Structure 1
Amino acid sequence: MSQPPPSPSASPLSSAPASASDPKAPRRSVRILRRTIAIIIVVAFSLAAAGGIIVLLGDIESEATYKVIGTTALTGAVSVAAFCGATLIGRRTQWFGITTIGLAIVTMALSLWFLWGDPYADPDSYALEEVLFQALSSLALVTAVASISALILLLVPRSWVVRVGLPITLGLLALGTSLVLVTIWVESAWELEWLTRLNGIVWILAALGVVVVPLTSLLLRAGSKPAGADRAGETSARSTQPSSSQPAPALSPSTLERLEAAARAEGITVDELVDRLLAADSTPPDASASGPQSEHPRH
């Protein structure tokens, strides 16, 4: 018996893992998780804001008013940090986003204990409370830096500027955080002049990277096109005639889902996958088939 002919729909995209057969499942879970985090952030910040407005309508000079206002400000700052971490969920660096959310939660819990409790009431436990205050300062610093890093990690390294500037900026943020942690936990570090100078230089360079790298990425994205797209445009311009009466065909939802599943399996974006396929299709055929025939001498 003859084997049935292969399906004409077979393509390189069909080599995606079997787990990608239902691409809607992971995307649905990611959307649910992001929506849950967003609801928690909105509800918590709304309750804190409502409490702040209520106490401001009463006795402003009371201690409870300052505590409620402090809780509102703290909730807002922690909500921003948690939102920055939530933006990475569903991406390759989602572990960093989950870590950022965890740091924000721990920082808020310890801050609320210092705000509403009385940690220095017992003189015997002063040393322990001092250590906890140092831990709180360290957590606040690490959470803030992690939030900034989470936003930077959203950049797609399509240009050499981002590929070079992104790791350098993250490294400077990590180095600056380490230097500040040293000054928090080691009292004698404040007396080292070279450490203070180095700390300032590192943070200036880190702030420069935080501003320059995203702006450069946006400018390059708006003013340039990928090389693969340029080659594809040149090929289509030579092979086809422009026609304004025929609109460009749109991809079906199933094709878009297959493209997203294949790109997710490769760990790249859909644009990079399409550029790779276009570059492979535009590669000229190997000349090895005609080469040996031209080398034979004529008789």
Structure 2
Amino acid sequence: MTRSWLAPLSLIFAFACTTEELGDGADGADESTTDAMDGTDETDGADTEMTGDGDGDTGAEVIATLDGVITDMAGAPLPTPGLQFCGPVDEETGDVLLCIPVPVEADGGFEIQAMLAGLWNLKVVHGSVDGRYFTGQAFQVTVNEGDALDFSMPPIVVPETAEVTDLSAAMGEVAVTIDDALSVSIDPSLAQSPDFQQPAELGGLAVPEEFWRVSEVDGGSVIAAWSFSPFGVKSTEGGFGFTIDSSLGLAADETVTFYEIVKDNGELHEVATGTVNGDASAIDIVPTGVGLHELTWLLAVH
């Protein structure tokens, strides 16, 4: 099993210096990150290979281990997954100290030996390849001394959508249909792909419940979840509009709250509230703050 070794304490201070530009929490960190379309995830300064003597011995004490497997929705290994272990996450500011690239074996297996306790984000990205349009995963993990965390049963699944909408010739706002329920409005000129370019395509899917890594938010249950490709398209001005032409199984006048998952630190941000309309055919949505800001995962919570 390939192992990824986390930085010894003597290196942490150097990484802290390179990540000062991350700014106010996840927004700053996200804007300094490039998700290359071959599945890699490059963070300016923060994403750096660990050094050692070749046998993984950095001289720091291992306090916990994380093992797991990454697959597609059919349970098969991915072509070129990019896995990062990012943290510790400052729970007040959302700042991430460093992101460490983790090798993934051909069968999808990985192992992380952690030297620092705290809140971490496990992030998997994968660009489109061979006509397949992958989304991604980002979720928080609390690491305590002595932990041996297993993410193999169930594995970490990266969803994929069968198709995307071509935005390369779009002028102004375009409504992208994700499924029978969700539609997202995007002006490509006011958006940025993970490679810092104007997005040329966008797709997504309603992800089956067995592939969710988050099932509850603030005591409420997730009742629907969508994920997007490319994973992490960001709005550069305001937020993305979206509509839900479904009651998601709720009755008229019932309410729902929508959250996005921030890719770089795994935080959940409220982006909108909604109320099922009178004939239970759709949900009337009111944005919270700037609204839907980052197209990673969109969760409906009741």
TM-score by length of 2: 0.22
Higher normalized helix content (fraction of residues): 1
